Amino acid sequence: MPRYLNVALGQLGPIQRADSRTQVVARLCELMRQAHAVGAQLIVFPELALTTFFPRWYIEDEAEINSFFEQSMPNAATQPLFDLSKALGVGFYLGYAELAQEATGAVRYNTSILVDRSGQIVAKYRKVHLPGHKEHEPWRRFQHLEKRYFTAGDGWEVTQAFGGVVGMAICNDRRWAETYRVMGLQGVEMVLIGYNTPVHNAPAPEHDDLSLFHNQLSMQAGAYQNGTWVVGVAKAGVEEGVDSIGGSCIIAPSGEVVARCLTKGDEMAIARCDLDFCAIYKRTTFNFDLHRQPQAYGLITQRKGETLGADGTVWAAPSGV
């Protein structure tokens, strides 16, 4: 019997710096209502969905930095979204900046949560692949200071939820094969991803024309190679003068796109996803137990005495080793 999960894309248009959390949460609630009206059980919102994408600015004042972070979840501003989730029976994925209190003090993460259909948080994920740079680089049109403002999370753990095996990733994670494979090895059936991707890539502007293509390429490959659904959701459009891609989409384990947003504004789109469709790929082409060869991965470099440098360069060991 098919295990259908009706999943909605909750794409956001830009959030300007002056927009309040209350205004943004009202937009999220409106997308959730639209999703519920067409039968959604789960809606996926973008990365850092409560504020403007503040890592584009070099900010020195700690209090100003912290103003973009949430110290608890839910909190007064986001409670209406949790209440609506419970009232409608629609779960959600939400990305936000988290200020956590740990034994060592306050730590900042780029975080997502998974909320079930009763409005309860059932999983939390902290972004592993933090792109960009740590120091101010005035030569850039805009900064990408995720390495400055966030600490990396410690990996991917899947969750039994929505009748299947669900995993989360955030933005840059989606470009890395490891993200999907670590969850694929745990039997993931649906990977939820929010993103903020500027069209302009300062260190490699020749990639600008390919940014939508690379977005979809990465997620389609991750879906197919691990026999999983992938749901990718953008915060799109021109935010504080920076244009970001849209292209939110739902991808089947076949690698095919089955639903896609068409605009760069607030937009909801939906697909009925059969979680049992994953098994066709997990049992055949990507049957890991049968076909993966982990003992061979890295064998040649080891045999030759080669090792990978921190920058990925292959260094040959001196002869005689």
Rounded least distance, CB 207 to ligand CDV, Å: 9
For ligand CDV, the binding residues in 28-87 under the rule CB under 6 A are 47
Rounded least distance, CB 217 to ligand CDV, Å: 12
Q: Which stretch binds ligand CDV (CB under 6 A): 70-78, 86-94, 189-197, 304-312?
A: 189-197
Short-list 22, 23, 25, 39, CA closest to 90: 39
Catalytic, out of 98, 127, 261, 273? 127
Rounded least distance, CB 85 to ligand CDV, Å: 25
Contact track, ligand CDV, 127-166, x by CB under 6 A = ----xx-----------x----------------------
What angle, rounded to 10 degrees, do the helices at 211-226 and 177-184 form?
20
Q: What is the spatial distance between Cα 232 and Cα 45, in angstroms, rounded to a whole number?
A: 9
Torsions phi, psi for 232 (to 5 deg): -115, 130
Token pair of 225, please? 């190679």
Q: Which stretch binds ligand CDV (CB under 6 A): 8-16, 30-38, 72-80, 191-199?
A: 191-199
Residue 28 CB-density burial (10 A; 0-12 exposed, 13-18 middle, 19+ buried)? buried
Q: What is the spatial distance between Cα 12 and Cα 257, in angstroms, rounded to a whole number?
A: 19
Q: What is the spatial distance between Cα 27 and Cα 13, in angstroms, rounded to a whole number?
A: 10
The 10 Å Cβ neighbour count of residue 235 is: 30
Rounded least distance, CB 253 to ligand CDV, Å: 23
Token pair of 12, please? 């956001």
181 in Cβ contact with 226 (< 8 Å): yes
Rounded least distance, CB 288 to ligand CDV, Å: 26
CB-wise, 196 or 220, nearer to ligand CDV? 196
The answer to whether residue 127 is catalytic is yes
DSSP-derived letter for residue 311 is T
Q: Which stretch binds ligand CDV (CB under 6 A): 5-13, 113-121, 171-179, 305-313?
A: 171-179
The answer to whether residue 47 is catalytic is yes
Q: Which stretch binds ligand CDV (CB under 6 A): 58-66, 170-178, 220-228, 266-274?
A: 170-178
For ligand CDV, the binding residues in 100-129 under the rule CB under 6 A are none
The 10 Å Cβ neighbour count of residue 304 is: 12
Q: What is the spatial distance between Cα 201 and Cα 131, in angstroms, rounded to a whole number?
A: 11
Catalytic, out of 70, 98, 146, 171? 171
Task: Give the residue, chosen from 159, 196, 220, 228, that forms a contact with ligand CDV under the rule CB under 6 A.
Answer: 196
What does the binding site for ligand CDV look like in residue numbers (CB under 6 A)? 47, 131-132, 144, 171-172, 175, 195-197
* Enzyme catalytic residues: 47, 127, 171
